[in-house]
Chain A
């Protein structure tokens, strides 16, 4: 089982385009996982038939007031200020709670129970042979990582698992990329794109995941991105040209590998490269050849 993360520093570079179209050419061999739980888009292109919906909850404390002595130990132990203890009442601020369980453990009177609170859903389905898995965070929830972990727990055994991450380099992306074997960083060859690509490269190096780059909208901007990749010995695994037809197809929610055959062959090639190297991919440093990059 090969797990590939698709990430980027900058938003809107084409992560979902790359992930869904790769899934499309891989078909039954693939599980597509939408870990951009704040703004999931994979389903717009893969249009899966959803067979199961899981409601994901996190535990939050509930105080049994008759047992409570208002000693304040739960409040003292909470590092997130999610509890306020008053003379005869206790307030719980669910939105600040990180569900660590510390308060329930510390209460000397056994007055705290943890109860589930829903934060979002996980959907499972099928799309032309592809196993589809996607998370959707409830609007107003601040924290994505607990839902991302819940989505990833549902990943079945498949030859190729494609994990579509959210943009950026902070905790939701790190959570999505945990235990991934290889990462594709999707970028655009513009100053903003390059600036954020450098951040993304720092990120995958920090978590020791081998990676390669996909350049989308190749032709715009300048050559700085290509120079950067070659100076850093970073393999550029695919280039998608800047083509208005691609943008228009994307805008309509179409799969570009279906609409444009010349693009399909690029994705088939990329799929081949990824599957061929799976035996020799290691999560720490590998030789600087082919797909590897320290």
Chain B
């Protein structure tokens, strides 16, 4: 399933144009990312929790200076809600 399928589905179910549905989805994603950036964690009921996990800095070198520069890289993780998991595992 892709975003287009989701948009089409929303448009059909709620009797709105695909453009509007696309806008709604984009607003949701944008807001979610903003919140994640701001708080470091976003919890969505019955769906799951997005959180940022910090990785250990990896030393690197820049250009010809041979100076070790720690490169920090964060990672976004998702922990699905129990309802989500139950729904997937149900037959």
A and B are interacting partners: no
A interface residues, Cβ below 8 angstroms from B: none
Seen from chain B, the residues whose Cβ lies within 8 Å of a Cβ on chain A are none
